[in-house]
Amino acid sequence: MKDSILNNKLTGDYLIAHLDILSYLQSCNIPPNNKFSIEVADDMRDMLLSAQENGTPISDIVGNDIKSFCEDIVQSYNSKRVKLLDFLKNLNYYLCFLLLMVLIFQVFEASVNLSTIVTFLLCWFLYKYILNFFYKKLCLKFKGLKNKIMCILLIFSASALCLFPIVLIIITYCDFRLNGYYVAIVCLLLILVVQIICKKLYKNIKWYDYFI
């Protein structure tokens, strides 16, 4: 997707429309490096480029409402099953990280605290979904790359401000020391359960799919 953004000859409104579509896809939790995202990015670039060369208005490509056009694209990718699978894959990715982190803590005899685990899951795993929720609402209102970056920074700062007191509460009230090995076992069990569910949803899933 990155190549499609950087190596295209789109200009003006065509470039803005291309960026709008790609931002919307990302805000719908479709991974940017996934096959679907790359394909849509390339298709959109080709369609808009040929419209730009022929002087065809953008509305002839995306219709009068770019949001419903993007929604139609997202729907063609996101069945409930795919959404759930992506969420679970993401969860397992972070659980693997947590497992590694907890083991390192334990090996170096640092304390593993419940608040650390909750904060990790909230700030790293769930935060992405919170950010995307707001980004989806706002990304089409901020046109162009500069404004999109501003929008992301705005949402990021506002959410961080809201998250800060929650993290403080977690640190204060979840101050329980845990045995790192037990936490690692629980993580491992959770990873296995998620893997079994993922396998049921999609038979060809491999263990390394969580990391790509």
Name which of 60 and 109 has its Cβ closer to another protein: 60
Distance CA 84, CA 86 (A): 5
Tell me if residue 174 falls in helix, strand or coil: coil
Which residues lie near another protein (CB under 8 A)? 40, 42-43, 46-47, 49-50, 53, 59-63, 68-69, 72-73, 75-77
Q: Which is nearer to another protein, 43 or 175 (CB)?
A: 43
| Least distance (Å) between residue 70 CB and another protein | 9
d(CA 209, CA 192): 14
CB of 77 to another protein, least distance (A): 7
- Whichever of 47 and 163 has its CB closer to another protein, that residue is 47
Shortest Å, Cβ 122 to another protein: 34
How far apart are CB 47 and another protein at their closest, in Å? 6
- Range 96-133 burial, b when 16+ CB lie within 10 A, else e: bebbebbbebbeeeeebbbbbbbbebebebeeeeebbe
* Distances from the Cα of 101 to the Cα of 16, 56, 145, angstroms: 41, 53, 36
Nearer to another protein, 27 or 52 (CB): 52
